[in-house]
Chains A and B, each alone.
Chain A
């Protein structure tokens, strides 16, 4: 009997910290992707990115997306973490871990998930520029 995929979605305030290894029943491939804040945005130096989420819909859409990826690519697990609020440069704001029996579906499922997320999940980002932050001090 086919085991239901492990699905986990967490939105949390501020940068994402390290986390324990993830396992899923029957998975031989665990692929992890991290989105990290780059030092520039629109060609200007930034101090951080501020994420705003329409939280109930973002959680709903991320969960639906995780289930959709699991169904479409036959995945054993999809684990999603996304920051809300301010995330400084160099810190992690998004983490996607995908588990499957073999690597190809995990890699394809990951790409599909991220492309679709960037279109359908109501999370917005606003750069916090270095010079703006200096003026506020």
Chain B
């Protein structure tokens, strides 16, 4: 399955676009998604250690399985307030 992942802030700056696509086996775990992104997109790899995958507007555990149609985004260090 092909997943689309939204990018903001430093991720969009590093990637140069506001989203990326990544091909994965059906219902991959969050940790597999993050690992694959880090290896497939070297420009993002420095950011990956502090990165979480948001699934449908929430943080989920690394073992969570991503499904077709889920909204995904990379969220790492943030800076509100």
Report the bound CA distance from A53 to B80 in whole Å.
9
Please count the residue pairs between chain A and chain B whose beta carbons lie under 8 angstroms apart in the complex: 56
B9 touches A124 (CB 8 A): yes
A54 touches B73 (CB 8 A): yes
Within 8 A of A (CB), among B1-49: 6, 8-10
A51 touches B73 (CB 8 A): no
Q: How many chain A residues touch the partner (CB < 8 A)?
A: 23
The contact size tier of chain B is 10 to 19
Interface majority SS (helix, strand, loop, mixed), chain A: mixed
Q: Which chain A residues lie closer than 8 Å to B8 at the CB level?
A: 52-54, 122, 124
Chain A 52-84, CB-CB to B under 8 Å as 1, else 0, gives: 111011101100000000000000000000100
Q: B-side interface residues toward A, CB under 8 Å?
A: 6, 8-10, 54, 57-59, 73, 75, 78-81
